[in-house]
Protein backbone atom coordinates (compact mmCIF):
# COMPACT_ATOMS: atom_id res chain seq x y z
CA UNK A 1 0.00 0.00 0.00
CA UNK A 2 1.25 3.46 -0.89
CA UNK A 3 -0.05 6.51 0.95
CA UNK A 4 -1.13 9.09 -1.60
CA UNK A 5 -2.41 11.97 0.49
CA UNK A 6 -6.05 11.49 1.41
CA UNK A 7 -6.57 8.80 -1.22
CA UNK A 8 -5.45 5.20 -1.05
CA UNK A 9 -3.76 3.28 -3.83
CA UNK A 10 -3.96 -0.46 -3.34
CA UNK A 11 -1.64 -2.70 -5.35
CA UNK A 12 -2.70 -6.35 -5.51
CA UNK A 13 -0.35 -9.17 -6.44
CA UNK A 14 -3.28 -11.25 -7.68
CA UNK A 15 -4.20 -8.54 -10.19
CA UNK A 16 -0.65 -8.24 -11.52
CA UNK A 17 -0.03 -4.85 -9.96
CA UNK A 18 -3.24 -3.10 -11.05
CA UNK A 19 -3.78 0.08 -9.05
CA UNK A 20 -7.13 0.64 -7.31
CA UNK A 21 -8.32 3.97 -5.94
CA UNK A 22 -11.09 4.69 -3.48
CA UNK A 23 -12.77 2.47 -0.94
CA UNK A 24 -12.56 -1.30 -0.94
CA UNK A 25 -13.56 -4.20 1.30
CA UNK A 26 -10.80 -6.71 2.02
CA UNK A 27 -11.47 -10.11 3.61
CA UNK A 28 -9.31 -12.90 4.94
CA UNK A 29 -9.23 -16.25 3.13
CA UNK A 30 -11.96 -17.68 5.40
CA UNK A 31 -14.19 -14.61 4.94
CA UNK A 32 -14.55 -14.33 8.69
CA UNK A 33 -12.75 -11.01 9.00
CA UNK A 34 -13.27 -7.94 6.81
CA UNK A 35 -11.61 -4.55 6.70
CA UNK A 36 -12.53 -1.38 4.91
CA UNK A 37 -9.66 0.42 3.24
CA UNK A 38 -10.22 3.85 1.82
CA UNK A 39 -10.41 7.56 2.38
CA UNK A 40 -13.40 8.59 4.47
CA UNK A 41 -16.16 6.52 2.89
CA UNK A 42 -19.49 8.23 3.21
CA UNK A 43 -23.11 7.80 2.27
CA UNK A 44 -22.37 7.57 -1.45
CA UNK A 45 -20.63 4.20 -1.02
CA UNK A 46 -22.07 2.83 2.23
CA UNK A 47 -24.83 0.74 0.61
CA UNK A 48 -22.41 -0.75 -1.89
CA UNK A 49 -19.97 -1.57 0.92
CA UNK A 50 -22.68 -3.29 2.98
CA UNK A 51 -23.81 -5.26 -0.09
CA UNK A 52 -20.24 -6.32 -0.88
CA UNK A 53 -19.67 -7.37 2.74
CA UNK A 54 -22.80 -9.56 2.70
CA UNK A 55 -21.78 -11.12 -0.62
CA UNK A 56 -18.22 -11.87 0.57
CA UNK A 57 -18.69 -12.79 4.23
CA UNK A 58 -22.29 -13.97 4.52
CA UNK A 59 -23.22 -15.53 1.16
CA UNK A 60 -25.22 -18.22 3.00
CA UNK A 61 -27.77 -15.53 3.87
CA UNK A 62 -28.69 -15.30 0.18
CA UNK A 63 -28.85 -19.04 -0.52
CA UNK A 64 -32.53 -19.23 0.41
CA UNK A 65 -35.52 -17.46 -1.12
CA UNK A 66 -36.27 -15.65 2.16
CA UNK A 67 -32.79 -14.12 2.25
CA UNK A 68 -32.99 -12.99 -1.38
CA UNK A 69 -36.47 -11.53 -0.76
CA UNK A 70 -35.15 -9.62 2.26
CA UNK A 71 -32.26 -8.26 0.18
CA UNK A 72 -34.69 -7.28 -2.60
CA UNK A 73 -36.81 -5.48 0.02
CA UNK A 74 -33.80 -3.42 1.11
CA UNK A 75 -32.26 -2.96 -2.36
CA UNK A 76 -35.04 -2.71 -4.93
CA UNK A 77 -32.62 -3.36 -7.79
CA UNK A 78 -30.98 -6.43 -6.22
CA UNK A 79 -30.47 -9.03 -8.98
CA UNK A 80 -31.55 -6.51 -11.64
CA UNK A 81 -29.19 -5.29 -14.35
CA UNK A 82 -30.43 -1.76 -15.02
CA UNK A 83 -28.04 -1.43 -17.96
CA UNK A 84 -30.09 -3.92 -19.98
CA UNK A 85 -32.47 -2.30 -22.50
CA UNK A 86 -35.35 -4.43 -21.19
CA UNK A 87 -35.01 -2.75 -17.79
CA UNK A 88 -35.25 0.83 -19.08
CA UNK A 89 -38.80 1.19 -17.73
CA UNK A 90 -37.73 -0.02 -14.28
CA UNK A 91 -34.81 2.39 -14.33
CA UNK A 92 -37.11 5.31 -15.22
CA UNK A 93 -39.64 4.32 -12.54
CA UNK A 94 -36.99 4.05 -9.82
CA UNK A 95 -35.29 7.28 -10.90
CA UNK A 96 -38.60 9.15 -10.74
CA UNK A 97 -39.33 7.70 -7.30
CA UNK A 98 -35.87 8.72 -6.04
CA UNK A 99 -36.29 12.25 -7.43
CA UNK A 100 -39.68 12.56 -5.73
CA UNK A 101 -38.42 11.17 -2.42
CA UNK A 102 -35.37 13.46 -2.45
CA UNK A 103 -37.45 16.40 -3.71
CA UNK A 104 -35.18 16.91 -6.72
CA UNK A 105 -36.10 18.74 -9.88
CA UNK A 106 -36.47 16.39 -12.85
CA UNK A 107 -33.39 16.39 -15.08
CA UNK A 108 -35.30 17.65 -18.15
CA UNK A 109 -36.30 20.84 -16.25
CA UNK A 110 -32.63 21.62 -15.62
CA UNK A 111 -31.86 21.49 -19.32
CA UNK A 112 -34.83 23.45 -20.59
CA UNK A 113 -34.91 26.28 -18.07
CA UNK A 114 -31.88 28.55 -18.20
CA UNK A 115 -31.57 31.11 -15.47
CA UNK A 116 -30.11 34.54 -16.28
CA UNK A 117 -26.58 35.05 -14.94
CA UNK A 118 -26.27 36.64 -11.53
CA UNK A 119 -24.89 40.15 -11.44
CA UNK A 120 -23.12 41.47 -8.40
CA UNK A 121 -23.24 45.00 -7.09
CA UNK A 122 -19.95 46.89 -7.40
CA UNK A 123 -17.61 46.39 -4.46
CA UNK A 124 -16.80 49.49 -2.40
CA UNK A 125 -14.00 49.41 0.11
CA UNK A 126 -15.24 52.57 1.85
CA UNK A 127 -17.66 51.46 4.66
CA UNK A 128 -19.61 54.71 4.46
CA UNK A 129 -22.15 54.89 1.65
pLDDT in tens, the chain (129 residues): 554 445 556 666 777 767 666 677 888 888 888 887 766 566 777 888 888 889 989 999 999 999 999 999 988 888 899 999 999 999 999 999 888 888 886 555 554 555 555 555 555 555 555
Element (H, E) at 124: none
* Cα–Cα nearest to 55, from 46, 63, 65: 63
What pLDDT score was predicted for residue 106? 53
Taking the CA atoms of 52, 57, 61 and 64 in sequence, report the sign of the dihedral they define.
positive
pTM of the model: 0.54
Element (H, E) at 9: strand 7-11
What pLDDT score was predicted for residue 4? 45
Contacts of 99 (CB under 8 A, 6+ apart): 105, 106
30-64 residue pLDDT tens: 888 888 776 656 677 788 888 888 998 999 999 99
What pLDDT score was predicted for residue 25? 81
What pLDDT score was predicted for residue 65? 95
Amino acid sequence: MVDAGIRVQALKKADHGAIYFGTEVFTDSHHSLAALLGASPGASVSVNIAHELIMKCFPQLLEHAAGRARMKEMLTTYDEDLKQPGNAGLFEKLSARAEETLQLRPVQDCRTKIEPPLTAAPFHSDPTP
